[in-house]
Amino acid sequence: MIDSDGGQLGVMEVRQALQLAAEKGLDLVEVSPTSAPPVCRLMDYGRYKFQQEKKEAESRKHQATVSIKEIKFRPGTGQHDLEFKLRHVKRFLEEGDRVKVTVMFRGREIVHQERGHEIISRVAQNLAELALVEGTARLEGRHLSVIMVPKKHAGVVAT
């Protein structure tokens, strides 16, 4: 039996422990049920749960949520459309989000993968001051994609 202050009260029967808890206006909480004899503690259980929830909320508040935004291009994407989509990518990177740059191939376009690599390298060159390219471009089915990480949040070593 442990007191509310953390002091040892020794081994006692359950009735006696419950009576002591009622006298002090506290709850009897079983801390370690597997030990012999089981360890119980006198505490205000409602207050304890409130403090635990408060600690969890505080730890969640300091967590940074990173989302991945995706911008899709096609091998025939024109210069103006590329610049237009680059402005969106810049905005996402400035907000601290990762950006997945994808080039989608349809039909026989898959034969000209070099055009997709050109688009990705052009995007990477235009955003070199804002972002690092994480890894190399990967072909997943008919999508050639690469992930870009903002430099200020780049904790990952880019290759």
Query: Final residue of a domain: which of 41, 60, 79?
Result: 60
Give the chain's domain count: 2
Domain of residue 50 covers 14-60
Q: Report in angstroms the alpha-carbon separations of 71 from 49, 91, 146.
A: 44, 12, 10
Give yes or no: residues 56 and 93 share one domain. Answer: no
Give yes or no: residues 28 and 79 share one domain. Answer: no
Q: What is the CATH number of the domain that holds 30?
A: 3.10.20.80
Q: Average pLDDT for consecutive 10-residue bins of the chain (159 residues)?
A: 84 88 89 86 91 90 81 91 93 90 92 91 90 89 92 56
CA angle 44, 45, 46 (to 5 degrees): 95
Q: What are phi and psi of 49, to 5 degrees?
A: -65, -40
Give yes or no: residues 77 and 119 share one domain. Answer: yes
What pLDDT is stored for residue 12 in this prediction? 87
What pLDDT is stored for residue 106 in this prediction? 93
140: β partners? 143
Stated pTM of the model: 0.57
What pLDDT is stored for residue 153 in this prediction? 60
